[in-house]
Amino acid sequence: MSNKTEEKRAELRMRLIDVAEAQIAARGLGGLKAREVTAEAGCALGALYNAVQDLDTLVLHVNSRTLARLGAALHAACQGAGEAPEDVLQALAAGYVAFARENRRLWSALFEHRLPEGVETPDWHKRDHAVLIEEIIAPLAHLRPDLAGEALIMRARTTFAAVHGVVQLALQGRFVGVPEESLADEVAALVSAMTRGTHLLRAGTGE
Amino acid sequence: MSNKTEEKRAELRMRLIDVAEAQIAARGLGGLKAREVTAEAGCALGALYNAVQDLDTLVLHVNSRTLARLGAALHAACQGAGEAPEDVLQALAAGYVAFARENRRLWSALFEHRLPEGVETPDWHKRDHAVLIEEIIAPLAHLRPDLAGEALIMRARTTFAAVHGVVQLALQGRFVGVPEESLADEVAALVSAMTRGTHLLRAGTGE
DNA sequence: GATAAAAAATGAACATCGTTCAAGAAACAA
DNA sequence: TTGTTTCTTGAACGATGTTCATTTTTTATC
């Protein structure tokens, strides 16, 4: 396949991702329709399947973009924080809450979307999820110098997942979710308890 | 409407819920099809919409059942635990992990299912979600005697959501999720950190 | 028990999806 | 220029949830 051809295809793909992103942002993941995306992108329905494997793949591309923006937001949140590990973790959590609220539907799509059973997530997209825990590792390592390697990464995932759970149930408006007004406070309290509990462990009471 | 009529309708509804539950357990929420459910229940396609408002409502009924079973499991987990608040919370978390693993697809449906935008969850189903935090309140109140009423309930929701987040990302097999083998340990570590951190706060360093 | 009214059961039909595919148009290579 | 590859197109296909006119069953009344 020539360069020009691949360029053309990439251009249409980009246009489709743009439109899909806008549609998800406007109407949610469930509001993404092949016919509307192609109509808005100015191509035929079938052209979508030449530019991209299928609609699921298109969502993955949108999600990769969102993850990149989220990664940048989290990185920025760190810069503005103090040195103490707890300060960094609080800043990260607050940044996560802010991003989720400001990008509700796109953020929601990150976890709402499911590939058909038996279909494995492609590696290029898996890698993009790393930003969710990258910035957690350093401050966590300071709190738990006894942890390293795999165990440290594990604990970082757990830390993220805990905060994420609170944010997700809250923003979904679930019965057991916290109301959105108290979300920031509750997350702060959670991070505070987690870091101090962790720190206490290090101090010697044992695990 | 006579008694006999209502009885008949309730019987079919029960049969439909049974079948729907089995189908979700076997093939997941996405594998629930109106045609298959009615075929297996031995009624016509249209009969479903006389017994129940729509397919979404059928899912809510299945979810209510799952919540009741989950509530019983959590209650049982408490009984077998010690007196100390942390022991109770650990037992609850372990019970939650066990239930989720043993009832993967039905448990998954609880949080996977979404009503169409703008449709409010009916009250009878909302109430059934209370079991998720009921047992958390008492031990949490012991750890935080300064909290009461609304604030205590809030913190219970946050505690549940944190544990839930870790379980959900793990069992979904997400990249940032913890592998299933370490799930129990990570949840235990999280609960430990949360309770000790919480306890530490009570001890006086202030919030 | 006969009969009228109400309810339920039925499955064809409809609307809306994602996806495929045969045919024509365009781009490329020789 | 010509033959080959690729892309584009939109009709068609197969699922799917839901509706609806029709038929069947049940209930209520005399």
**Minimal CA separation from A10 to chain B, in Å:** 27
Give the global pTM. Answer: 0.93
User: DSSP class of residue A117?
Assistant: T
Query: What is the assigned CATH class of domain B1-52?
Result: mainly alpha
Q: Report the pLDDT value the prediction gives residue B2, as an integer from 0 to 100.
A: 54
Question: Protein B2 CA to nucleic acid D29 C1', in Å?
Answer: 15
Please check whether residue B69 is in contact with residue B103, taking contact to mean a CB–CB distance below 8 angstroms: yes
Does B170 score more than 70 pLDDT? yes
Is the Cβ atom of B33 within 7 Å of strand D at any atom?
A: yes
Domain extent listing, chain A: 1-52, 60-205
What percentage of chain A exceeds 70 in pLDDT? 93
Q: Report the pLDDT value the prediction gives residue B200, as an integer from 0 to 100.
A: 53
Is the Cβ atom of B47 within 7 Å of strand C at any atom?
A: yes
Nearest to B54 by CA among B37, B40, B68, B41: B37
Q: Report the pLDDT value the prediction gives residue A83, as an integer from 0 to 100.
A: 87
Does B1 score more than 60 pLDDT? no
Does B105 score more than 60 pLDDT? yes
Is the Cβ atom of B39 within 7 Å of strand C at any atom?
A: no
Give strand C nucleotides closer than 7 A to any protein Cβ.
6-13, 16-22, 27-29
Q: Average pLDDT of B82-91?
A: 93
Is the Cβ atom of A111 within 7 Å of strand C at any atom?
A: no
Tokens of A32: 């993404």
CA A155, A156, A161, A164 dihedral sign is positive
Tokens of A189: 């309290």
pLDDT band at A205 (very low <50, low <70, confident <90, very high): very low
Q: Average pLDDT of B103-108?
A: 98
Does A43 score more than 60 pLDDT? yes
In CATH, the number for domain B56-205 is 1.10.357.10
Q: Report the pLDDT value the prediction gives residue A5, as an integer from 0 to 100.
A: 67
Q: Report the pLDDT value the prediction gives residue B27, as an integer from 0 to 100.
A: 96
What percentage of chain B exceeds 90 in pLDDT? 86
Does B204 score more than 50 pLDDT? no
Per-residue three-class SS string for A16-51: HHHHHHHHHHHHCHHHCCHHHHHHHHCCCHHHHHHH
Q: Report the pLDDT value the prediction gives residue B178, as an integer from 0 to 100.
A: 97
Does B205 score more than 70 pLDDT? no
**Minimal CA separation from A75 to chain B, in Å:** 17
CATH pick for A60-205 out of 1.10.260.40, 3.40.50.300, 1.10.10.370, 1.10.357.10: 1.10.357.10
pLDDT band at A3 (very low <50, low <70, confident <90, very high): low
Length of chain A: 207
Q: Report the pLDDT value the prediction gives residue B199, as an integer from 0 to 100.
A: 59
pLDDT band at B207 (very low <50, low <70, confident <90, very high): very low
Q: Average pLDDT of A111-128?
A: 95
Q: Which of residues 126-145 of B touch A (CB under 8 A)?
A: 126, 129-130, 132-133
Which chain A residues touch B136 with a CB distance below 8 Å?
none
A157 lies within 8 A of chain B by CB:
yes
In angstroms, the CA A136 to CA B11 distance is 53
Tokens of B162: 């944190």
List, in order, residues 6 or more apart from B98 with CB less than 8 Å away. B73
Does B134 score more than 60 pLDDT? yes
In angstroms, the CA B16 to CA B100 distance is 24
Q: Report the pLDDT value the prediction gives residue A206, as an integer from 0 to 100.
A: 39
Please check whether residue B199 is in contact with residue B143, taking contact to mean a CB–CB distance below 8 angstroms: yes
Does B202 score more than 80 pLDDT? no
pLDDT band at B7 (very low <50, low <70, confident <90, very high): confident
Q: Shortest CA–C1' contact from B32: which nucleotide?
A: D16
A198 lies within 8 A of chain B by CB:
yes
